[in-house]
Structure 1
Amino acid sequence: MLDIGLNEAGMLAAKQYEGGQTQADGGTVEVVRPAHAPAIAVILPCFNEEAAIGDVVRAFRTVLPTARVYVFDNRSTDDTRAVAAAAGAIVRSEMRQGKGNVVRRMFADVEADVYVLADGDGTYDARMAPRMIEHLTAENLDMIVGTRVAPPGRAFPPGHRFGNHMFNTLVAHVFGREFRDIFSGYRVFSRRFVKSFPAVTNGFDIETEMTVHALELRLPVAEMDTHYAERPAGSTSKLRTFRDGFSILWAMLLLFKQVRPFLLFGAAAAILSLTSIGLAWPILIEFLQTGLVPRIPTAMLSTGMMIVAFLSLACGLILHSVSRSHLEVKRLQYLTLAAPRPR
């Protein structure tokens, strides 16, 4: 198996063309591309998508003939692997259940200069991929998000639209930049984004982590509208609206704690201190008037809350310094990788 990447300066500069053969469950995929062009990998996480994955693989192979198409199967119980291999994909497996686990494995194992991430359910338009790649390389961007555009209906139910808008607004207020569709699974990445992305989440909250990673490092990103279609017959959604919604909200809170710890713990300290002052004020007034402290439990509660407030503030300051150090390390790792080359 030969994976070819152009991330090292001057690599294969003297060759006009380069090629490789990759074994995909019994089939051979031939890739030939000009030596100056970036290596492109299409990566598709899948779980029980036999009804759609064949058409998805063929669509991406048609619009990106020089790209390698990878299907990472996530313990499917149907014929997803066989259908993907028959369509010409390079099929691999990830046994840990969850989209985040699959994306972590894909980003670690696949070598390329440009990565196209999409779902294997046939809802994303493969014809947009060349335009997204062209925009990424021409503008030296690190991520392009394919913003889903679909008429109201089963493709994008009202509940999902509302939740998407709510989380988009929350991300804009917390992390400082508005995305129109932070949950889109159709994205194009540079190599330096992929290889500097920690991927610590396990499930459908992986898109939120990608978005926060880009915002935290202040990476150049863009959005492009793309058609979003209904799933084909026989394909069912793996998203559980309420359970996964709460999971995403929890993941966002953890990311907020990691990225903006002083704001989080500072807000807690402010609430605790104001509550403490509110409880203590009547006691203080009565003490100044009579010299007595009649409500000892309330006074003790007020004192304890003020102590906790100062501890929360101290934790925020310490974690802010730690977060700053982590940010510097991630930024330096990001800068060690080359920017995308124009096609």
Structure 2
Amino acid sequence: MRIAAIVPCHNEAGAIGKVVRELQAAVPAAEVYVYDNRSDDNTADVARAAGAIVRFEERKGKGNVVRRAFADIDADVYLLIDGDDTYDAAAAPQLIEKLLEGPYDQVTGVRRPESDAAYRSGHALGNRFFNGIVGMIFAYRVDDMLSGYRVFSKRFVRSFPALSRGFEIETELTVHSISARIPQAQLSVGFRDRAEGTESKLRTYHDGQRILRTVLKLALHERPVQAYGMIAALLAAVALILGVPIVVEFISTGLVPRLPTALLASSLMILSGLALIVGMLMDVLRKIRDESSRLAYLSWEVVGHVR
């Protein structure tokens, strides 16, 4: 069984060597691939000296790295872990064992902070917010949507489109597994403060906005009837509020005293109907896409149980 550990990194010379060595010690059978995402320090040299296979992705963004790695590497089990030495690499065997025992197609490492400094309050609050939003939209409990520590089966990787460019890739991974009803599990893993002299690449507000846009976009794509139905209901409600008094007055007097308002109400009701039609058409396309994705998913064999 071939195991590939994928480590996206950007300017992580101070941490990448330790991550590679810990992965080699935890999973000796794994091939460790470090993907240098336009670093301007000696990250690649340090990773290579530690024994990793170093590859480069010139398009900036973690999503681009994951997309490239999933296309390049052929393995039975894929381990994804950030190169900043914040995740406990020693937990990798438990994640892999869980994946194979299920058998599951994704196992997510739910972060368990080892100190107060490990998890910035803004990031923790944002993560809980996005967990709640995704859980509400897709009716599925999510404990750590933005975790960068995951293990995948080959059939998950081969059926995953990987459209995101940046940190929103974790959102796409989570929503893909929920929408496709792929067997998945979660395990608690240690999460520690970053190595001294390094800083997080995640920009709380900027990347938070991008993640929120991704969640809303995926909601439109994966739950079109509900999403467009809400838009249609809102437009219809506004149209009725504006239009009912005018209709009542017309019935009583035969006059239309506020023609612009009447036109606006009529237009909003037409848009409401169009939104509902678009939602139903998008739902048909979603079903076709889901069928194609399911067939691609089923075309790959399941890796056998550990025991």
| TM-score in same-fold range (> 0.5) | yes
Counterpart of 1:122 in structure 2 is 85
Amino acid at match of 1:288: I
Distance 1:103 1:52 in 2: 20
Amino acid at match of 2:303: P
Distance 1:130 1:285 in 2: 71
Counterpart of 2:276 in structure 1 is 313
| Of 208, 211, 214, the match for 1:251 | 214
- SS in structure 2 at match of 1:237: coil
Counterpart of 2:153 in structure 1 is 190
Distance 1:95 1:60 in 2: 25
| Of 186, 209, 229, the match for 2:172 | 209
1:76 matches 2:39: yes
- SS in structure 2 at match of 1:51: coil
Counterpart of 2:7 in structure 1 is 44
1:146 matches 2:109: yes
Amino acid at match of 1:67: A
| Of 47, 50, 58, the match for 1:87 | 50
Q: How far 1:78 moved relative to its partner?
A: 0.3
- SS in structure 2 at match of 1:148: strand
- SS in structure 2 at match of 1:162: helix
Q: Is the 8 A contact 2:115 2:193 kept in 1?
A: no
Aligned residue runs from structure 1 range 127-138, under 5 A: 127-138=90-101
Counterpart of 1:271 in structure 2 is 234
Q: How far 1:341 moved relative to its partner?
A: 2.1
Q: TM-score scaled by structure 2?
A: 0.98
- SS in structure 2 at match of 1:112: coil
Q: Report the aligned-residue RMSD.
A: 0.9
- SS in structure 1 at match of 2:159: coil
Counterpart of 1:232 in structure 2 is 195
Q: Is the 8 A contact 1:114 1:188 kept in 2?
A: yes
Distance 1:320 1:116 in 2: 33
User: Which consecutive segments of 4 or more residues in structure 1 shift more than 3 A?
Assistant: none
Counterpart of 1:158 in structure 2 is 121
Q: How far 1:43 moved relative to its partner?
A: 0.5
Residue-pair matches, total: 306
Deviations along 1:248-280, whole A, 9 cap, x unmatched? Answer: 000111111111111111111111111111111
1:108 matches 2:60: no
Identical pairs, percent: 48
- Of structures 1 and 2, the larger Rg is shown by 1
Counterpart of 1:12 in structure 2 is none
Deviations along 1:281-330, whole A, 9 cap, x unmatched? Answer: 11111111111111101100010101111111111111110011001100
Distance 2:243 2:56 in 1: 61
Q: How far 1:154 moved relative to its partner?
A: 2.5
Structure 1: gaps spanning 5 or more residues: 1-37
Counterpart of 1:10 in structure 2 is none
Q: TM-score scaled by structure 1?
A: 0.88
Q: How far 1:175 moved relative to its partner?
A: 1.1
Q: Is the 8 A contact 2:114 2:192 kept in 1?
A: no
- Once the two structures are overlaid, the 10-residue window that deviates more, 149-158 or 228-237, is 149-158
| Of 279, 282, 293, the match for 1:330 | 293
Q: How far 1:151 moved relative to its partner?
A: 4.9
Q: Is the 8 A contact 1:94 1:102 kept in 2?
A: yes
Q: Is the 8 A contact 2:246 2:256 kept in 1?
A: yes
Q: Is the 8 A contact 1:115 1:191 kept in 2?
A: yes
Q: How far 1:153 moved relative to its partner?
A: 2.6
- SS in structure 1 at match of 2:110: strand
Amino acid at match of 1:96: R
Structure 2: gaps spanning 5 or more residues: none
Aligned residue runs from structure 1 range 25-44, under 5 A: 38-44=1-7
Structure (1/2) with the larger helix percentage: 2
Amino acid at match of 1:284: V
Amino acid at match of 1:137: L
Q: How far 1:181 moved relative to its partner?
A: 0.4
